[in-house]
């Protein structure tokens, strides 16, 4: 499969990222007045996390960035957006003072938008894993077995190298595999380079690290992959209700989420970072 222009842009921007760093519409203002960000704060360049106190911070709804920022700075400091790039647009427009999001998407957003930068200090570190219903321990075991096998044979590293370092090719589905049943994957395809929409062979497709790892897992398990794109904060509900078998979307393991779903073994250590104006 040959990816078109968007993937080229993503790969070019992602080449600066280390593998060691390894997850629509208006913002959820909830009736709050627009923040004081913009002309009054433009001259006050944010250079450290300590300066975020009293500022308005954009996050993607339901993410760990949303959870951490709300806990640390309070509800009045948070502006929520359904998509990460919408928060970045709000930052550029002076509606908010900063955006907290995962490192790899942050790298992509900053590379595609002039006048933005990422603070050197990480806001927090976290681990990504695959969400599974608590009623489906057999699937969790199979996922862990598949992840271990893909790491052992180099497939896992090859997928990361392609999307993170820009080396090699996208994962090629093994057409010789006999398949029995489906694995329905709930994701939010607004999170490059982990999942994003792209044109492949003239058709829209969801690509990225998580999507290709899921394809490789399905090759290993002998199942057909079905990807359901939805809002991030709907993913756990989809897994709980049985609408989806797994939640695979750069999802961080947290104590709160563990109350609702189980997780596979972790497959990536990631960082939450802060995007600000230069």
User: Do 112 and 182 fall within a single domain?
Assistant: no
pTM: 0.74
Q: What is the pLDDT of residue 165?
A: 85
Q: 94 with 182, same domain?
A: no
- The answer as to whether 275 is a domain residue is no
- Residue 25 belongs to a domain: yes
Q: Which residues of the chain have pLDDT under 50?
A: 1-21, 23-36, 38-43
The reply to whether 160 and 198 lie within a common domain is yes
Domain total of the chain: 2
Please tell me whether residue 190 adopts helix, strand or coil conformation.
strand
CATH code, domain with 173: 3.40.190.10
pLDDT tens across 90-144, in order?
999 999 999 999 998 999 999 999 999 999 999 999 999 999 999 999 999 999 9
Which domain-ending residue is among 125, 153, 180?
125
Query: Is residue 46 in some structural domain?
Result: yes
List Cβ<8 Å contacts ≥24 apart for 216-221. Answer: 216/146, 216/150, 216/155, 216/156, 216/159, 216/171, 217/143, 217/146, 217/147, 217/150, 217/183, 218/179, 218/183, 219/173, 219/174, 219/177, 220/146, 220/149, 220/150, 221/142, 221/146, 221/183
| Per-residue pLDDT, 42 | 45
- Same domain? For 114 and 138 the reply is no
Residue 28 is predicted with a pLDDT of 36
> Does any domain span residue 150?
yes
Flag whether 116 is in a domain.
yes
Place of tokens 């760990």: 64
Q: Give the domain extent around 98.
A: 5-125
- Domain presence at residue 204: yes
Same domain, 132 and 234: yes
- Token pair, residue 227, equals 């990807």
Give the model's pLDDT for residue 37: 54
Same domain, 183 and 117: no
């Amino acid at each position: 499969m040959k990816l078109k222009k968007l993937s080229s842009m993503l790969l070019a921007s992602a080449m600066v990222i280390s593998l060691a760093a390894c997850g629509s519409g208006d913002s959820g203002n909830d009736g709050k007045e627009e923040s004081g960000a913009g002309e009054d704060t433009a001259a006050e360049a944010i250079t450290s996390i300590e300066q975020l106190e009293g500022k308005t911070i954009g996050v993607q709804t339901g993410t760990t960035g949303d959870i951490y920022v709300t806990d640390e700075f309070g509800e009045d400091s948070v502006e929520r957006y359904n998509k990460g790039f919408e928060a970045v647009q709000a930052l550029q427009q002076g509606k908010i003072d900063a955006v907290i999001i995962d490192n790899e998407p942050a790298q992509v957003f900053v590379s595609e938008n002039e006048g933005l930068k990422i603070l050197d200090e990480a806001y927090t570190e976290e681990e990504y894993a695959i969400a599974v219903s608590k009623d489906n321990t057999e699937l969790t075991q199979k996922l862990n077995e598949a992840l271990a096998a893909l790491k052992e044979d180099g497939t896992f590293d090859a997928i990361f190298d392609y999307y993170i370092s820009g080396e090699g090719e996208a994962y090629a589905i093994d057409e010789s595999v006999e398949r029995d049943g489906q694995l329905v994957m709930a994701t939010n395809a607004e999170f490059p380079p982990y999942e994003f929409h792209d044109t492949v062979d003239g058709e829209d497709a969801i690509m990225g690290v998580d999507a290709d790892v899921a394809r490789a897992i399905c090759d290993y398990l002998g199942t057909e992959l079905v990807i359901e794109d939805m809002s991030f904060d709907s993913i756990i509900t989809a897994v709980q209700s049985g609408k989806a078998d797994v939640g695979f979307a750069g999802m961080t393991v947290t104590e709160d989420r563990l109350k609702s779903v189980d997780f596979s073994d972790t497959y990536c250590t990631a960082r939450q970072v802060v995007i600000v104006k230069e």
